[in-house]
A and B are shown apart, each in its own frame.
Chain A
Amino acid sequence: MRRELIKFALFAAVALAVPATIKGGYLLNVLVFVGINTMLAVALNLLLGFAGQISLGQAAFYGLGAYLSGILTTTYGWNPWTAMAVAAMAVGLLAFVIGFPILKLKGHYLAMATLGFGIIIYIVLNEYVDVTGGPSGFSGVPGLGIGNLHFDSDLKSYYLVWTMALLVMLLAVNLTQSRIGRALRAIHDSEVAARVLGVNARLLKVQVFTCSAVISCLAGSLYAHTVTFISPSTFGFHFSVELLTMVIIGGLGSIYGSCLGAALLTLLPEFLRTFQDYDIVVYGLLLIVMTMFLPGGLVQGFEMLWAGIRRLWPGRAGQDA
């Protein structure tokens, strides 16, 4: 546990030091979104990597968070922080209630059910024009602030978003190292065996699902207050798939992997832009190639690389001696 905390502290220090090393500008703006996506990817990873439950509807919770925050603050004039907390509670309750029937399902039936849920929410956001503004979106969401400090520049947004993201990561690291984490992994490997050993698998799965939903909802609120404009197309099925890709490319069950996956997929379009229209093809190819050759994700790749270097090192040292 202590080792994990040291690792986390190192990571946090690096994350918070990043803005000092770059000149600001556009990259900083992208890194804000990397932070939001990290929260979402970690949330999904808790569900997928630790409890082994797939979800293709994560974007729905993200969207609900964004819209609840947006509507409560803009239409009803609530304080953004209150709105954020209320949205998180409402979405948590919703996830808890639907979690019981949904998580009874397995495999692609679970995938289908979560996908269906995601599409229903998307349709509601898209069609309930009087409240959500419909397909043309919802604008004028106020920014966040504490007292006289307004998060209105990329630098300030960066610290706001990354503080939240780091808190979520810390929570996740703690969770996975705890008794709950071990119970979750047991469910992942064999639900029956876990049950026999006295794990209340069903309740635990629903709790993780709820936790994942609440984190996604918070990310949504942050998105709404940072961009100040929201429209349904951001929260569609394709984004759920993108999140899934982040988690898998980063490495299932690895918190830092999720961050890496989020960073890669958010920054990838920047590098692919040189390919012009070909980027969608490269994106598809990358997914296939990654799954084929590095099924454990980038984190596994780095571990292999590291092991390789370490094996090489004593060998050379031996020759020298």
Chain B
Amino acid sequence: MKTRFIRIATLLLALFSSVGAAIAAEPVKIEPIKIGALFSVTGPPSFLGEPERNTAQMVVDEINKTGGIKGRPLELVIYDTTGDPTKAVQLATKLIKDDKVVAIIGPSTTGETMAVKPVTEKEQIPLISCAAGSKITDPVNPWTFKTAQNDTLAVARIFEHLQKRKLDKVAILTASDGFGASGREQLKNQATKFGMTLTVDDTFGPKDTDMTAQLTKIRGSEAQAIICWGTNPGPAVVAKNARQLGIKLPLFMSHGVSSKKFIELAGEAAEGIILPSGQVIVADLLPAAAPQKKALMAYVQDYKKNFGVEGDHFGGHAWDAVMLLKKALEQGADTPAAIRDQLEKISGFAGIGGVFGFSAADHAGLTKDAFVLVEIRNKDWVLVD
């Protein structure tokens, strides 16, 4: 009986140890953490999607080079939505069902985000959008976050500045695309709050080649300032046309053109234009103590090293999205639900777009300090207070 017990015990021991050895001997296969990304790398919004794709890939590569997150590498699956909401929906489904990602970054535009939102909501996958439209997170949906600054904040910056200069009659000229339309909505909504009268409310096609007609109308009105909302090249044409018509009114643009490209396109006509912008373009002008300084400088230099041009704030939205995810993952979250919970707890994170602080009631996470007002002088940016 005793010998039998010993025999069994030995056998069991041998068995366990051999299994243990086998486990130890087999190289530990570490599952990468799969993240999905939807950017419009081609198509009309490619000016957003391309820097976003580049940045996201760059950041993920860097994270993996330094050992991943908690020992696990990140795997980024990027699809090109070409700016088409239908494609965005299909690809979101693909990311969730076939690639089995734990979270999705993007899409680049508000329209695509609104199209994808119902899908990620239903499948309960966190979505960190890189688009600006405020309706993405208003009303708040538990699964949807965003990194691009709300138009609301940019509009508020401009109106505050106008108030300070005692100008209250403005003409608005917005592009008839998603970006322009969203800006127009915000401009109209907040005008009364800041005591502004909109004397002219006009639009232009994003591919239009001449805006003198609209500007002539504005010149004939009582407007004291012009606010133009759009992305390149439309606003550059507006700037040139305004100069051609000899309009002396102060001209304001949106953060949609806060890149050196705009100065290059508008040339002389860009001088004196004021616009709200993320801090990335003025990173070197910021005081060393500014909370975002470190992140901004690092991002601008990294991007320049990898892609030969300076990083802009569009790419910055992707940087923020990946870094926010990284923060959530570092807290030990690796399921969609846990990531969502951790994202909502992030506060005081100094990224490219601003200092993020999410909560259950706020999934946009930024205050109007995310924007600074800059003026174009001598083909460069100058801070306006």
- List the interface of chain A (C-beta within 8 A of B): 24-26, 29-30, 33, 126-127, 129, 134-137, 139, 152, 154, 223, 227-231, 233-234, 269, 273, 276-277, 279-280
Bound-complex Cα distance A135 to B112 (A): 11
Do B182 and A234 touch (CB < 8 A)?
no
Q: How far is the CA of A295 from the CA of B326 in the complex (A)?
A: 53
Residue of B nearest to A232 (CB): B111
- Can you list 15 A-B pairs with a CB-CB distance of less than 8 A? A25-B97, A26-B93, A26-B94, A129-B181, A129-B185, A135-B180, A139-B117, A229-B114, A229-B118, A231-B178, A233-B111, A234-B84, A273-B80, A277-B80, A280-B42
Q: In the bound complex, how far is the Cα of B89 from the Cα of A228, in angstroms? A: 10
Q: Mark B71-113, 1 if CB is under 8 A from A, else 0.
A: 0000000011001111101100110011000000000001100
Which 8 A-B pairs have CB atoms at the shortest separation, nearest pair first? A25-B97, A26-B94, A229-B115, A29-B93, A231-B111, A26-B98, A135-B181, A134-B181
User: A280 vs B90: C-alpha distance in the bound complex, in angstroms?
Assistant: 18
Chain B CB within 10 Å, residue with most, of A135, A276, A277: A135
Interface residues of B in 108-136 (CB under 8 A from A): 110-111, 114-115, 117-118, 122, 133, 135
Main secondary structure of the interface of B (DSSP, over half): helix
A229 touches B176 (CB 8 A): no
Selected from B85, B90, B122, the residue in CB contact (under 8 A) with A26 is B90
**8 Å CB contact of B86 from A33, A126, A134, A154:** A33
Counting CB contacts under 8 A, is B231 at the interface? no
Given contacts A29-B90, A135-B177, A233-B84, is CB(A277)–CB(B114) below 8 Å?
Answer: no
Q: How far is the CB of A233 from chain B (nearest CB, A)?
A: 7
Q: Is the beta-carbon distance between B203 and A127 smaller than 8 angstroms? A: yes
| Contact present for A135 and B176 (CB under 8 Å) | yes
Q: How far is the CA of A230 from the CA of B178 in the complex (A)?
A: 13
Given A135-B178, A233-B83, A277-B42, residue A26 in contact with residue B111 (CB < 8 A): no
B225 within 8 A of A: no
Contact between chains at A126 and B85 (CB < 8 Å): no
Residues of chain A within 8 A (CB-CB) of B87 are 269
With A26-B93, A227-B85: A136-B135 Cβ-Cβ less than 8 Å: yes
Please pick, from B42, B118, B181, the residue contacting A136 in the complex, using a CB distance under 8 A.
Answer: B181
Q: From the candidates B79, B94, B111, name the one contacting A135 in the complex (CB within 8 A).
A: B111
Residues of B within 8 A of A33 (CB): 86, 90
Chain A CB within 10 Å — which of B117, B118, B135, B182 has the most? B118
Residues of chain B lying within 8 A (CB to CB) of residue A223? 86
Question: For residue B94, which residues in chain A have a CB less than 8 angstroms away from its CB?
Answer: 26, 29
- Chain B residues in the interface with A (C-beta under 8 A): 41-42, 79-80, 83-87, 89-90, 93-94, 97-98, 110-111, 114-115, 117-118, 122, 133, 135, 176-178, 180-182, 184-185, 203
Name the A residues within 8 Å of B118 (CB-CB).
139, 228-229
Tell me how far the C-beta of A212 lies from the nearest C-beta in chain B, rounded to whole angstroms. Answer: 21
- Given A26-B94, A136-B114, A273-B79, the answer on whether A227 and B89 have CB atoms closer than 8 Å is yes
Distance A127 CA – B175 CA, assembled complex (angstroms): 11
B114 is contacted by which of A24, A25, A139 (Cβ under 8 Å)? A139
Nearest-Cβ distance from residue A98 to partner chain B, whole angstroms: 24
CA distance A229 to B178 in the complex (A): 14
Point out the residues of chain B lying under 8 angstroms from A279, CB to CB. 42
Contact yes or no, A137 B85, CB < 8 A: yes
B41 with A126: CB separation less than 8 A? no
Whether B85 and A229, one on each chain, are in contact in the complex, defined by CB atoms closer than 8 angstroms, is: yes
Contact indicator A136/B110 (Cβ below 8 Å) = yes
Nearest CB in chain A: distance from B116 CB, A? 8
For B114, list chain A residues within 8 Å (CB): 136-137, 139, 229, 231
A25-B98, A26-B93, A280-B42 given as contacts; is B181 within 8 A of A233 (CB)? no
Residues of A within 8 A of B203 (CB): 127
With both beta carbons as reference points, the residue of chain B lying nearest to A276 in the complex is identified as: B80
Contacts of B89 in A (CB 8 A): 227, 229
- Asked if B86 and A26 sit within 8 Å, CB to CB, the answer is no
